[in-house]
Amino acid sequence: MLRLTRRTNPSRSLEILAPLVAVALTLVVAAILFVALGKNPADAFAAMFWRPVQDLYGWSELGVKVAPLILCAVGLAIGFRASVWNIGAEGQIVVGAIAASWVALATGEGGFGLPGWLLPLLAGALGGMVWGAIPALLRTKANANEILVSLMLVYVGGFLLQYVVRGPMRDPMSFGFPQSPMFPDPARLPILLDTTRLHLGFALALLAALVAWLFVARSYQGFVFRLSGEAPAAAAYAGFSRAKVIWGSFLISGGLAGLAGAAEVLGPIGQLQPAVSPGYGFAAIIVAFLGRLHPIGIIAAALLMGLFYLGGEIAQMELQLPIAITGVFQGLLLFFLLGADTFVRWRLVLGGTR
Amino acid sequence: MPPLLELVGITKRYPGIVANQDVSLAVQPGEIQALLGENGAGKSTLMKIVYGLARPDEGEIRWQGELVVENSPVLARKRGIGMVFQHFTLFETLTVAENIALGLEPGNAGSDLEGRIRELSRHYGLAVAPQAPVWSLSVGERQRVEIVRCLLQSPRLLIMDEPTSVLTPQEADGLFATLRRLAAEGCAVLYISHKLEEIQALCHAATVLRAGKVVARCDPTRETARSLAALMIGKAPPEIEHRPAESDGPVVLSVADLSLPSVDPHGTALKRVSFSLRAGEILGVAGVAGNGQRELLRALSGEDARAPAGAITLAGQPAGNLDPKRRRALGLAFVPEERLGRGAAPKLSLTLNALLTGKRQSLTRAGLIRQGAVERRATEIVRRFDVRTPGIQAEAGSLSGGNLQKFIVGRELYDGPKLLIAAHPTWGVDVGAATLIREEMLALRDRGGSVLLFSEELDELFLLSDRIAVMFHGMLSPPAPVRQLTPESVGLLMGGAGFEGGVGLAQAH
């Protein structure tokens, strides 16, 4: 008989190795999958993961994908370390995008000596915070499970988006297409590299990762968050309020997700459309855990996840595979990561009943 | 005649530790044998092996000279082994008789179960009412139900795991009478404890365990408490001199008419608790566990801040509704009941645990932790309180109980508090560490500080306290100077005598 027994002392190096093992296993299964689909796996991998990053433009496109993933994942990781489970970053992206679009259309020509994109960007962060505040409020006041509330608000946010692009924010000149007018130029995010789409959001993402690292590793509040997650009774004993940690986690992660949504519409998209995110908010959960909830790890994990997105698009165009291949890769990766983590903490033992 | 039970070379390993190593012992019919050892010495593991709850990795169990091949609690009960656990296994919502029927083999309950319960309880002096629902019983009464349940199966061997830790001294005496009677009728008793006086009073033989190994076998009646302690810990315990003081310093903490329902539905509500504590004195709070100590501690520490502001006065400030941080700023330090998870975060380093209750102003700058200052603090605590650790980066959870407790007490005393509230500070701590912690509390008092000491060990309370009060059913007796008290008089209060009419009667007492 097989059974799992807890390891007395899980190895720190195994814990860091686990994501790499998960990535390797994902690629192995993907190769089998390609063979089953009648494709040469070497060609498929080359098309998906090698050719996209052969030139500067490819790398810049990767940067465009990575920016929202990093922004969401570093915020989520701060909450996850405190055992506050915000699963609704996708909804906070969408509401952030709506808020940013609204402000961009209202004030996008700029003024007060400020760049036109600044207020929309801040409005996006605020929108994400408001959407994140709902689960925080219900958790702290009514003890409602924040996982369920934040997840279900994703769908509420999605319907809100469908409503505004068809109703109040629809471009009257759009011939009935559900989309807002294009934003005025000053409201668009500055481009970091000429002739590419790499926008300010990427720089903000790296900055967010740096600040998050400082928060986690060096700040007193970061210590309070970690304590609240790992030893709640010790946090209560020391007098740290759990409610503040829940609110802080949701405002930080919601704000960063809202910022990511704002950067998507103010950057590459340029208007509000019925789809602003191909699941970045959910993928960011995988990114956060793949990166071991550490800001540096998250950047690396986001690059990999970004490559899945990019490669999925290529696979669709060049290999005639459905875009769902991106989702398959994400699912495999999450599966193997959870599996690998299990074996870091538990050991498989053969035989014996007790 | 072969011994009733014989263990030969029992070894049991758990991941990371050897709980029992080559343990042998023999129990004769009618003998009360003590199994003596500190917390973590391997006593409970050994008894679980006898009772079939754990399987030894090596060694043999012999029952009446025959090798036991298969073992389980059901088989052990069939052989005639009964066990009363430290933590009871009764259903609160059922009656005594229903609980006992559930524990019996099917078909063995019989028609006249209640009659048999009454007869047994009369014969052995175990007062239990078969129709009483278990939730209405005191801890001592519940233990009697557990014992009756074992006796109904006419055991040949009864295992008692730390039975007196939940009893008043008077209840313990009643238990001893029952056990002596059982032994006189030929039943053997294996008695697990670390309390030396009661082993001397009760047991015919003692097997001493230390770190999983048998270190001595002796006749406890021929030993002194001191020599038994030396066997148990491997060296003679250092002695503390009892030096009560009478303080007329200013009042540091006063509680006035504090009543508070419990947050936990199975907890105890506080009823009109009043006392005051002066600078330069140690006030001991005695009581059987579960009489509201936990709730009073939380109300005093600020973890439960529902009390009216004026019900608790700390250093002259109304403090009943302040959070723990604000109370600490007024000079309060607190050593909680649970070391791991509450007093310290197990997965965090000692350095970060030193930060846990430190003064924020001196340990942070611009919101960032001042690494150097926190490390100095941790290093200093480790040095001053002789905490044995590979380094300040070690996780708190990797320290032994005694060392972690020294660290927590050290951390709480580090900032020079006016008042230390300590809950069972020496529980499960080795004798060396316990002595150091007790000396530190006396030193704080001698410097003019105050200590509020909650303990279930009367010896400790009489050794350290200047005044003692007793908790019972959420009420607190008026504190009395220790020279006016005896363990017996405190024991009577612990059992509720003088509390019947509420605190008012106790005051007249």
Q: How far apart are CA B130 and CA B132, in angstroms?
A: 6
Residue B300: which CATH number? 3.40.50.300
The answer to whether the beta carbons of residues A242 and B391 sit under 8 Å apart is: no
Average pLDDT, chain B: 88
ipTM for this model = 0.84
Whether residue B195 sits in one domain with residue B295 = no
Percentage of residues of chain A with pLDDT beyond 70 = 97
Distance from CA of A75 to the nearest CA of B (A): 19
Least Cα separation, residue A298 to chain B (angstroms): 22
A220 and B356 in contact by Cβ < 8 A? no
Locate the chain A residue with the closest alpha carbon to B325. A239
- Does B73 touch chain A if contact means CB atoms closer than 8 Å? no
Decide if B276 is inside a domain: yes
State which amino acid sits at residue B264.
D
- A91 sits in the region (left: phi over 0; alpha: psi -120 to 50; else beta) called alpha
Residues near B136 by Cβ (< 8 Å), separated by ≥ 6?
A: none
Cα separation, A68 vs A63, in Å, equals: 9
Which residue in A9, A221, A234 is closest to B344 by CB distance? A234
Give backbone dihedrals phi and psi of A100, rounded to 5 degrees, phi first. Answer: -65, -40
Residue B496 lies in a domain: yes
CB contact under 8 A, B345 and A241: no
| Residue A226 with chain B: CB contacts under 8 Å | 348
Of the candidates A7, A9, A220, which has its C-beta nearest B360's C-beta? Answer: A220
> Same domain for B444 and B406?
no
Is the domain of B37 the same as that of B10? yes
| Six-digit token string for B323 | 């959070």
Q: Taking the domains of chain A in order of start, what are their residue ranges? A: 69-290
State how far residue A68 is from chain B, nearest Cα, in angstroms. 27
A205, A67 in Cβ contact below 8 A? yes
* B320/A contact by beta carbon, under 8 A: no
Residues of A with CB under 8 A from a CB of B: 5-9, 214, 218-221, 223, 226-227, 230-231, 233-234, 236-241, 354
Q: How many CB atoms lie within 10 A of CB B483?
A: 10
Q: Which of A89, A86, A74 is nearest to A213 (CA)?
A: A74
What is the Cα–Cα distance from B474 to B273, expressed in whole angstroms?
A: 8
State the average pLDDT for chain A.
92
Residue B445's CB: how many other CB atoms inside 10 A?
Answer: 23
What is the DSSP annotation of A115-163? -TTHHHHHHHHHHHHHHHHHHHHHHHHH---HHHHHHHHHHHHHHHHHH
pLDDT in tens, B2-33: 899 999 999 998 766 788 999 999 999 999 99
Same domain, B73 and B204: yes
Burial class (CB in 10 A: 0-12, 13-18, 19+), A134: buried
Domain range for residue B412?
341-416
Identify whether residues B304 and B428 lie together within a single domain.
yes
Does one domain contain both B41 and B82? yes
Which residues of chain B make contact with A236, given a CB cutoff of 8 A?
303, 324, 342
Kindly determine whether residue A239 and residue B360, on different chains, have CB atoms separated by under 8 Å: no
Q: What does the pLDDT look like over A102-120, one tens digit per residue?
A: 999 998 777 677 888 999 9
pLDDT at B236: 63
Q: How far is B33 from chain A (nearest CA, A)?
A: 29
**Of the candidates B416, B443, B468, which is a domain's last residue?**
B416
Per-residue confidence (pLDDT) for residue A351, from 0 to 100: 60
The pLDDT, as a whole number, for residue B509 is 37
Q: How many residues are recorded in chain A? A: 354
List, in sequence order, every residue forming a beta bridge with B12; answer none if it has no partner.
B20
Angle between helix A220-230 and A200-218 (nearest 10): 70
* Interface test with chain A among B363, B365, B369, by most A beta carbons within 10 Å: B369
Whether residues B132 and B212 fall in one domain: yes
CA distance A238 to A247: 19
Asked whether the beta carbons of A336 and A25 are under 8 A apart, the reply is yes
The pLDDT score that the predictor gives to residue B484 is 92
Determine which of B368, B377, B411 to mutate to test the interface with A (most A C-beta atoms within 10 Å). B368
Which chain A residue lies closest to B53 (C-alpha atoms)? Answer: A354
Partner-chain contact A239 B323, CB within 8 Å: yes
* Residues recorded for chain B: 509
Min Cα distance A233 → chain B (Å) is 5
Give residue B144's pLDDT. Answer: 87
Do both B320 and B216 map to the same domain? no
For position B412, what pLDDT does the model report? 96
Q: List, in order, residues 6 or more apart from B89 with CB less than 8 Å away.
A: B146
Strands (E), B287-434: 312-314, 317-318, 332-335, 364-365, 368-369, 419-423
Residues in chain A with CB shorter than 8 Å from the CB of B16 are: 8-9
Task: Mutate one of B18, B323, B325, B342 to test the A interface: name it (highest A CB count within 10 A).
Answer: B342
Of B385, B401, B376, B377, which Cα lies nearest the Cα of B441?
A: B385
List, in sequence order, every residue forming a beta bridge with B190; answer none if it has no partner: B33, B159
Q: Is residue B244 situated within a structural domain?
A: no
* Rounded distance between C-alpha atoms, residue B183 and residue A29, angstroms: 69
Shared domain check, B281 and B212:
no
pLDDT of residue B336: 94
**Is there a single domain that holds both residue B48 and residue B189?**
yes
Between B303, B360, B363, which is nearest A236 by CB?
B303
Strands (DSSP E) contained in chain A are 2-6, 346-350
Sign, CA dihedral A239-A244-A248-A254, equals positive
In a domain, B242, yes or no: no
Question: Cβ of A239 and B347 within 8 Å?
Answer: no
Residue-by-residue pLDDT tens, chain B, 509 positions = 789 999 999 999 876 678 899 999 999 999 999 998 876 678 888 998 999 988 899 999 999 999 998 888 889 988 999 998 877 778 888 888 888 888 776 666 566 888 888 888 888 888 888 888 888 787 778 888 988 888 888 899 999 988 887 778 888 888 999 999 999 999 999 998 877 888 888 999 999 998 889 999 999 888 887 888 888 877 666 667 767 777 788 999 999 999 999 987 778 899 999 999 999 999 999 998 888 999 999 999 999 999 999 999 999 999 999 999 999 999 999 999 888 899 999 999 999 999 999 888 889 998 999 999 999 999 999 999 888 888 899 899 888 778 899 999 999 999 999 999 999 998 767 777 888 899 999 999 999 999 999 998 888 899 999 999 999 999 999 999 999 999 889 988 988 887 865 444 444 33
Has residue A3 got a pLDDT over 80? no
B345 vs A contacts (CB less than 8 Å) = 227, 230-231, 234
Count of the separate structural domains present in chain B: 3
CB B436 within 8 Å of CB B385: yes
Asked if the Cβ–Cβ distance from B347 to A227 is below 8 Å, we say no
Distance in angstroms (rounded) separating the CA atoms of residues B497 and B474: 14
Averaged pLDDT for residues A194-215: 96
CA atoms A248, A249, A251, A253: torsion sign: positive
Task: Kindly determine whether residue A219 and residue B367, on different chains, have CB atoms separated by under 8 Å.
Answer: yes
CA angle B425, B427, B428 (to 5 degrees): 135
By C-alpha distance, which of B94, B90, B93 is closest to B149?
B90
Asked if residue B299 is part of any domain, the answer here is yes
User: Quick check: A234 and B303 CB within 8 A?
Assistant: no
Give the end of a domain, one of B385, B416, B447: B416
pLDDT digits (tens, 9 = 90+) for A256-291: 999 999 999 999 999 999 999 999 999 999 999 999
DSSP secondary structure of B226-250: HHHHHHHHSSPPPP---------S-
> Which of these three, B186, B201, B233, is where a domain ends?
B233
Q: What is the pLDDT of residues A318-341, one digit of tens each?
A: 888 888 888 888 899 989 999 998
Q: At what angle do helices A56-81 and A220-230 cross, to 10 degrees?
A: 60
Query: Using CB atoms within 10 A of its CB, is residue B139 exposed (0-12), middle (13-18) or buried (19+)?
Result: middle
**Residue of chain A whose alpha carbon sits nearest to that of B57:** A354
**What residues of A are in contact with residue B355 (Cβ under 8 Å)?**
220, 223
